[in-house]
Structure formats: structure tokens, C-alpha cells
Chain A
Amino acid sequence: MIFKKKVSLNLMISMEAFFVFSIDTGCALVYYIVSALTYNDIHGGEKMEFDDKLPIYIQIMNYIKKKIVSGEINGGDKLPSVRELSSELKVNPNTVQRTYQELERENLVFTQRGMGTFVIEDTEIIKNLKKSMALDIVNNFISEMKELGFEYKEIVEIILDNKKKEE
């Protein structure tokens, strides 16, 4: 009698466990799919990866500069609000605030009270920015090539070779 009771109780527990488990995994799966779908919507399939070595505000500055130089953001465009960007990049709002302050100090953006932060319309400044960013990349590249033991002449040859292959 007692034995029988125990068995049925056990059965009930395992049934319950099974039921809970299946609801659980079902929900998780639905959730996964939904969030995977919405994720790409919000981020446009792109997400900023942080490099470890630099302060985050500088990395966000570079990220915005790149967008300005490549024309993804035009002169006069409004930047996202501090809160929007911090939520998008998953960083502290104070960090984004600092990014905007530093960009303002470099005269790349300006803030209009109550309106938001805007990219400067001066094409000369943007052109200079483009030049200086290009120079940074080239300098990096050359110093690394030199570390590998290449001379200028060889570097140029490699680049021309590469160009031919692309064509």
C-alpha cells in the first residue's frame, strides 16, 4: 500500500518535471528566434567590437570619425542621442557623453541646446580628417612592413602586384 503510493507520487513528480522542462525549452527557443530576428533589425547586422587596449571613449570617437569620413554620416547630420548610442553600443552613457565632448573639442561636431549633437558642415575639416586618418593607417602599415624587413621599394612593388591581381 505504502509502496504503491510512493510510486505514483514519483510518477507525478517526474511528469511535472517533464512538463516544466518542455515549457521552459519551448519558451527559450521562441525567445531565441525572436531576439535573433530583432537583433539584426536594431543593429543593421553590425555591431561595434571593442579593442581592449584603448579607452572606450576613444574607440567610439574613431567609430564615429570613420562613419563621417566614409560618408555614412554627412555634414549637418544629427548624431544619435547619448542614450540611444549607449544603448546600441552597450556602454555607460557617461562614456558616450565624454565621446561627444571630445569630438566637440576637436571641432567635428557641435551641440545645439535641446536639439542634439550635429556633425560639422565644414567640408574642409572633414577632408582634413580623412587625410589624417589615411595617414595613420599608412604609417602603421609602413612601420609594420619595415619591422618585417621590407624597404620602400619592395613595399611599392607588393602594392602594385596586388593592384594587378585585383584588376
Chain B
Amino acid sequence: MDVKRIPIRNVDETELTRISREGMLSLNLAEMKAIQSYFIQQGREPTDVEIETIAQTWSEHCVHKTFKSRIEYAENGGTVEVIDGLFNSYIRRATEEIGKDWCVSVFVDNAGIVEFDDEYNIAFKVETHNHPSAIEPYGGAGTGVGGVIRDSLGTGLGAKPILNTDVFCFGPLDLAYNQLPTGSLHPRRVFKGVVAGVRDYGNRMGIPTANGAILFDSRFTGNPLVFCGNVGLISKNRCAKSVHPGDLILAVGGRTGRDGIHGATFSSLELDDASENLGSVVQIGNPIMEKKIVDVLMEARDRGLFRSITDCGAGGFSSAVGEMGKDTGAEVHLENVRLKYEGLAPWEIWLSEAQERMVLALPPENLEAMMELCDAELVEATVLGEFTDSRKLRVSYGGNLAAELDMHFLHEGLPTLTKKAVWEMPCFPEPPDRTVVTGKNGVLDGSNVPDFTQDLCAILGSPNVASKEWVIRQYDHEVQGGVVLKPLVGVENDGPSDACVVTPVLGSHKGVIVANGINPKYSDIDPYHSAAAAIDEALRNVIAVGGKLESTALLDNFSWGNPDKPDRLGGLVRAAKACYDIATAYGTPFISGKDSLYNEYRDTTTGKQLAIPSTLLISACCVIPDVKRAITMDAKSPGNLIYVLGKTYRELGASHYYDIHGFVGNSVPIVRPEEGKATMVALSRAVEERLIYSCHDCSEGGIGVAAAEMAFSGGFGMELNLAYAPRDAEVIGDDVLLFAESNSRFILEVSHENRAAFEERMEGVPFGCIGSTIEQPEFVVKGIGGETVIQTQIYQLKEAWQSTFRDGG
């Protein structure tokens, strides 16, 4: 197998486009022309290794060009606003303006780093592995977990992985087979495969998986979303890395094969039924290999053997070496790479995304010690070449030069794009008034007073809300001995925890809260409010277990449709604006983020183009000084008072209540950050003073679902009266109070004894005492007018919530 030349200096635009498309390079014409003029300047034709290297380095996946591009944006046909890069204008700017001194490293390394205690910092990274999981759910999801663990391992001089978090979006499990787009896997197959892949990789790595979420929408059928996150623990003096000319380039771990070729550029293409023929784009995972690497690298790190480290992710060696040697230069001899089998072309060796490989910059004097360490644990390590001071990336194969690229051109030569974005506010049909909606469900009783018991059960059993215990129990959420707030809580260990808390240093009570917020349904109405609500929800989950805004950091993960389509990009602009507005209002900085674009599926039979709902996952982490002050969501004892904190607005748009009745509506919940911040700050203080027995965030299904979950998780009944819940003047219906998903609200359990102290702390915050917990298993809710609107037993509510996925759905 030899290096090939690809003549591009004397070809026209049509030919350039053809070369990109047929080579699966995902480069647009402007980019191809930039490459063409570089090689005209060099006075030679590029090699296949060079073209592929540039395509990987410039891929959406590696360089996030949409987030860096200049955008001409117009809202509702109005004037054009020019945005100089979404990332710089909204994400990075928010973090800079918030200016938290506990942010150690943001946006530069493989994960964001924040301070933990005097000795350690915390690294946190979340990534997507959507396209691979669509084609091969088990392998795609498993290597998603493996990849994000290597991000922790490749942060600073290597963080020890201490926690996994996973969020999935799938098509409906009961989808009729004749509704399945041509060539796509059934959601049930994707669901089971993804869960098994995450389970087998995470469990075998000995990392607790203690936080996550699973959501369903028919538009995720052809293009499911798989978000994998990892938290790492890293010594304070191991957070900085550097590369010196003369350092050896050492590859550690698995061998290189033809698996995972073109993964980076593949993720910049839309999917269709031909995508499954691209089998080699999905990598093959081996968690035990990765565990061996962790063991060896942690030891090598502690002995100070290497100077820099990164993982081989998208783009394989081409990205890892190209990135590490950016400011120096690098020389690589591809024949040194250990292969799984013979027959790989030089460019394939260079690009392969074969898993479980790390690249180190190693001072030559430490080579012997490093090799001895690797040999003792049967981990393969190979010197590929060295870092130089040439500012060039030189790659040779069997003595022949395969690539020689200026680092400057490789990293800075990408032409800045200008993209067009538009946003038109959609208008969905409003449902008829409350009586008609509930009447449709046949639950009006004789006296014309609506009974919402069935609605509550229907929402509890709806796939997004229902218990995911079947999944959660397949993950080891106890390993490493430090998970003190578990994903399932309550008297029977089966209630839905708002967030998890881990103590990564055994014997210390210092902990980390990890939570998430996501609500793609809202983005149908407005991605701005969907993003705002995702941030609010992630923060609510943190606050609900005892965290504080002032020590909370956020991660953003955008999964969007094709950004070359102005309407999709318009939604992305809206979401990015919300990220800036809400994060700065709450004072919670972004420390890391990622975007996965081109999440669309083309059904070649119907010709229909299916874009996913625009989805922003917000992950949050919060360092807390004393985990003993953390609280859980399960009701603790009978006779305590139940409070609603935060105001309910007439916001049923895109709610689960509308959803079960077949409507979307338009009144999407909006975030009022001044109100939200005051509420969360007051609540954090009350939790710290131990005035709160239990606390649950109000999200999907509103007050009704949150109160029901608290009651059945604790094994106690509740008597509630909606008239006492704080509400906006426009709220007149009991269903709005029960099911509106207004932001920044919590349900709390407070003892009579603490009543006065608690209410004093809540001054200036809307709150209301809506009832109390009772010994009997009755769940009774009175409406604003005093009639009973829900009357049932907690066992019935729990059964509705648990039955949906009891045996895997």
C-alpha cells in the first residue's frame, strides 16, 4: 500500500466538489479551494495522507466551524444581525464575564477543569456519539463511553475517571414497523443496544454510572442521540501540559485497524439507508484494554514520566499528533504503528479511530522507565516519532514522505464561513379550553368538576417521565464506594433522585453534585426557551440536593439538524443566545461543551427529511464542602408541611399535559432569572441550615408529578390544596397549577418546628404551604375552588409510574 497523489491544482470547481464528496471528506467548495491554493503555492500536488489530514482537522467534529463561523441572522423577517461566532459571542463570553476564580481550565483541554479541594481538581466532559449509535447501537454507545473516559484521561496529565453520566434520546419504543424509515433500526433495538453498550463499557471500567435521563420522540427514530459524560479527579499539580521539541511521540494502548475510518467526517453528513454500509466508520470497543491503560497511565503520571497526553479520538493519530504538535512541529513514521492486521494504506493508519489509544509526549530519558511499566502490565507502547521545532507536520511511511504540512496552514488555514440563519416564530393550534380537553378524555364527573387523577397517572406513565429503574439497575452505581446520593432513593430505593452526589476522595466529606437538564419538546416552540429551561432544570436539580449557584459549572452539548439550512441554524442562534443570557444571570459559567450537527435522517423511500428536535443537554457540576448536608426528594415522615416554592404561570405549551392530549400549544415556559435566582439562593441557604427534610424539582408534569413522586418514593400520602400555591394572576385552571412546567419551582417538605424559621428565610420569594404529608397512603388534591380534583392512593400512582418500563418496555 502506497501513498497516492491527488491532482487538484488544475481542476475546476465541479471536480473539487466531486473529490470532496466521493472521498467522504465533508469539505465545502471554499475549503477545497483554500487547499488548492495552498498546494499551488507549494508547487506540488497533495498526497492522500495530506488531504485526509486536512479534512479531519477541518471537520465540523474537530474544529466546530459552525460555532466559529460568521452568521447573518434574521428573526421573523426583521433586520439582519451579524454574529461573529456563536461560541465566542455567547458561550465563551458568558464564562469570561462571570469570571469565577475556581475555573482552572475552560474550553482548551479535553475536559473543563474546576477546583475541588486543596489537593485535587475536577474534570468534566460530555460528548455525543449519535451517528455511530444509529448504525450500531451497542458498539456506538460503548465507544461513546470509552471515548469520553479517554477525554478525562487526556485532560492535563490525566484525570482518574470517577463518574459516568449518560443521556439518551430515542424514537418511541412502540413504533409500528411500517412507520420505520427505510434502513433505520427500530427504536427498541437501539434502546436495548445502547443501554447494553453503556452498561458493559462503564461497568467493566469500574466507574459508577449514577446520573442520566432517557427521552423519547418519534423524530429521534432515524437519528437517536447518545450523550456520554465523564467526571475525573486530578491532582492540582497535574493539570498543565506542554510539548518540547525532542519529546518522543509515544502511542499507548490498542493496535490500529481499519475500524473507525472517517468517523470525524462521517459525523458531518446526514444519515440515510446507505449509512449502514459505512460499517467501518464505527469503532470496536474493548473496555478491559482501556482499564489497563488507565492503570498504567495513572502510575506513569504519578511518577512524572510524560509531559503531555491526549486521546486518539476523531481523526485518530492525525488529530492527536497534529493538535499536540501545533506549536512545535512533529515527525511521524507510520511504519512504527502496531497494526491489528496487515493491509492498511498509510492514510488509513493515520486516520483510523481504533479505540483505546492514547498519545504521549515523552522526554527521551524516560523511555526506558515507561516501557518497563507498560511491559509489566502487558500494555503495548510504541514510539511513532518525535516532536520537532519545524512547525511542520511531517509524516513518512517506509522512508517515503507521506505528508508535509505547515502547522499554521493546518490549524489556521480554514476559511471562515459566513452562514445564513433565519428564525420564524411558529404557531401551533391552541387546544380548546380546559373542559373540552379533559372532556375528550372522558373524565368529567357528574358534578362537572374535572377529575385529574387519570391525567396524572397518564403523565406519570408517559415514557419521558416513567421510572427508568430497569435501565439504572443495570449500571453499577456503587463502585468506587463514594456515591452517597444514588440515582434511586426513598424507602424502597426506587424513587427518582434529582441529582447524584459523589465523594471521590474516600474519608473526605467533600463532594460533587452532577445533574442535567434537557427538554427538546420546548424547542418546537422556541429553542431559546428550551435552552433556558434546560439550564434552569440542571440548576434546579443541583439546588434540590443541596448545591449552590455560586459553585456550579455548566457544560453545553448541542445536538442539532443540518446547520447549512438557515432555519436549523436560526434555532441554534436562539439557543446560544439563551445560554449567554441565562448563564450570566445565574452566574454559572460554561467550562466545556460540544456540538453534534447534521442530525437528520433521509427516508429514501418517502423522500422525507427528518430532522431531530433541536436538543441542548446542559450538564451541571457543583462542588459542595459537606455531603452530610445533602438532601433527597423522598417524603420523610407524616405530619410535615408541603410547600411550593416559585410561581406558577399559565405555561402549558409543550407540556406533558398537552402532549398526552395531543397538543403542543404556544405558551412555552420561560425562565425569569431574577425570580429563579432569588428562589434558588434562598433555598440553598435553608438547606444548609437543615430546615428542609426533602426537596424535589418541578419539571416534566409540574407540581402534580413532583408531589406524587415525593409521596410514593417516601411511602407516605399527601393532602394538598392548590389554592395556596403561588400563582400568576392569569392562572385560573387547576390543570395549569397541577401540570404547567413553569421554571424555577420546587416542592419542599418542612417540619412544623421549622416552619417559622423557614418562612423567614423565604422572604421575597414566592412560596405557599399547600398541605402536609400523612400516614395513610392517600393522595388527595383540592382545586382552587375547594373541590377535590385528585383522589387516589400512592400505590396506584407508583404503579402507573413503574409499569411502563418494568421489564424493559
Q: Answer yes or no: do A and B interact.
A: no
Enumerate chain B interface residues (CB-CB to A < 8 A): none
Enumerate chain A interface residues (CB-CB to B < 8 A): none
